[in-house]
Structures are given as structure tokens and as C-alpha cells.
Amino acid sequence: MISIMKDNKQGQEKYNIPEKSRLEKIAAAAFALLVWQAGAMLLNNSMLLAAPLTVVKRLYSLCMEGDLFSVAGYSLIRIVSGFLLALAAGGILAVIAARFRLAEVMIWPFIAAIKSVPVASFIILCLIWLNSGTLSIFIAFLMVIPVVYTNMLQGIKSTDSKMLEMAEVFSVSWLKRIKYIYLPQLKPYILSACSVSIGLSWKAGTAAEVIGIPEGSIGEMLYEAKVYFSSGDLLAWTVVIIAASIAFEKLFLLLLRYSFERLERS
């Protein structure tokens, strides 16, 4: 009887954890909005800092005008393309580097340079080679690839050597080694790399658009907001960037986890 009561109590505690976490996040968001509103009231200057309600009204206006979805879609396609290209290229380079020591040594200076050089320097340099429409794709790609490469290379190197030896002894095919040995080992590294790099790709891609100013992009809208000293527009488009980044991250990680689960069950 006591054990049943304990099990019920533990079950209730487990059930309450997600609800508690959700409430904490809602409370934190509400506090942030209050701080924002207090700051706007203290400054009492919408040019310097627009109030939350003003930003909401501006977002509604953008939706009604039809600009919001077309502009957000323009940037979304390019930034996501850069992220996906980096995910594929980083994975391939990590596999090659793990297999050949010389390749890892030769790739290292490029990864180190990308990590160290400021994003603005890359953007200005790439403007010489690329047009403004493709700039955000390349910059997002460039900023994401070191994160993916480093994480996946570490994951491959951390694979259990005894499992690999056993696979070698029993002549397990490469496809089965990838499915049953490498992918389960790489799963947390891939998820971690994607979680970090999606936000990074949006930051870098948007920065590239602000400098390159491609027509019909979020970067162009941010640049115009800066020129006209419109903090309402600036914050409204910033909210769009945050919402798009979070939505894509949640959706992509959900699909990735689902794919891993399907693979594990098959």
C-alpha cells in the first residue's frame, strides 16, 4: 500500500514538472514585458523605446498590409537554406576528418578562422564576391558550419571503440554500423549543434541583410527603421525574427527527434 502511494506521488510530481516549468516561463515573460513597459514609460519617448502595445499594433498593421509574411518568408528561405547547407557540409567534413587525420589537420585553420573573425568582416568581404540576395545564405552557412563540424567530429570520436571492434569481428555492414552504432552516439551532439546553430544562423543572416540591404528582406526593414528612427518598427521586426527563429528551431528539432525515434524502432 505504501509503495503504491509512493508511486502515485512520484507520478504526480513528474506530471507537475512540465506544468511548473511552463508557468515559470510565462511568469518570466510577463516580468520582461513589465520591465519593457516601465522603461518605455520612464523614457517617455517612442522614438527611443516604443511600448509593448505600440509594437503589437505595428505588428498587426504589418499583417494587414501583407508585408509581414512576404518579408519574413524571403529571409526565412535564405537563412534556413544556409543552415541546412551548413548542416550537410559540416557533417560530411566531420566524417572525412574523423576518418583521415590529415584532413582534420588541413580543415582546422579554416574552422579556427571562421570562429575568430567577426561576422561583420565576413559580410563586408563577401559583398565583394556575392550579390546582396545570396549574402545571407552564405553568411548563415559560414557561421553554422564550425558548430556542426566540431560537435559531429567530437561525437564520432567519442564512439565506443569496443562496439566498433565487435562490428569489425562480426563483419557488420557499414549501413548497420551507422544505424546502430554511430547515429545513437551522434544523436545528442547533432541535437546540441542544431539547437545552438539555428539561433546563430538567424543572427548572422539578419546582420548580413542589414548590411547588404536586399530588397524585400527583414534586414531592409530594420535598416529603414534605423534611418527613420522608428523604434516601433525596429522592435516589431525584432519580434518577428525571434518568433521565426524559435518556431523553426522547435519544429526542426521535433522532426529530428521523431526521425531518430523512427530509426531506433525500425
pLDDT, tens digit, 9 for 90 and up, residues 241-261: 999 999 999 999 999 999 988
- 264's CB contacts (< 8 A; 6+ apart) are 184
Average the pLDDT over 44-55 and give the result.
87
CB atoms under 10 Å from CB of 152, counted, come to 23
* For residues 223-229, average pLDDT: 89
What lies within 8 Å, CB to CB, of 220 at 6+ separation is 71, 209, 213, 214
Mean pLDDT rounded to a whole number for the chain: 87
Specify the pLDDT at position 13.
47
pLDDT for 17 equals: 58
**What's the pLDDT band for 67 if we cut at 50, 70, 90?**
confident
Q: pTM of this prediction? A: 0.86
Instruction: Find the mean pLDDT for residues 79-103.
Output: 95
Contacts of 10 (CB under 8 A, 6+ apart): none
pLDDT of residue 2: 43
Which pLDDT does position 18 carry in this prediction? 64
For residues 24 and 240, which has the higher predicted lDDT (pLDDT)? 240
Average pLDDT over residues 21-45: 88
Nearest to 117 by CA among 89, 93, 90, 146: 146
Instruction: Tell me the pLDDT tens digit for each residue of 107-142.
Output: 999 999 999 988 888 998 888 888 888 999 999 999
Q: Within 10 A of 38 (CB to CB), how many other CB atoms are there?
A: 11
How far apart (Å, rounded) are the C-alpha atoms in residues 174 and 57? 56
Within 100-212, where are the H helices? Answer: 101-116, 119-129, 132-157, 161-169, 174-177, 183-212
Helix axes 52-65, 2-43, angle to 10 degrees: 90
**Long-range pairs of 216-219 with CB within 8 A, sequence gap ≥ 24:** 216/70, 216/71, 216/74, 217/71, 217/74, 217/75, 217/78, 217/136, 218/71, 218/72, 218/74, 218/75, 219/75, 219/136
Residue 197 scores a pLDDT above 90: yes
pLDDT higher at 265 or 219: 219
Burial per residue of 1-23, b for 16 or more beta-carbon CB atoms within 10 angstroms, e otherwise: eeeeeeeeeeeeeeeeeeeeeee
Amino acid, single-letter form, for residue 195? S
pLDDT > 70? residue 9? no
In the structure grid, which three cell numbers stand for residue 112, read together?
A: 579556427
Check whether 101 has a pLDDT greater than 80: yes
pLDDT interval class at 16 (50, 70, 90): low
Distance CA 241, CA 202 (A): 7
pLDDT of 6 > 80? The answer is no
For residue 15, pLDDT over 80 is answered with: no
Q: What is the length of the chain?
A: 266
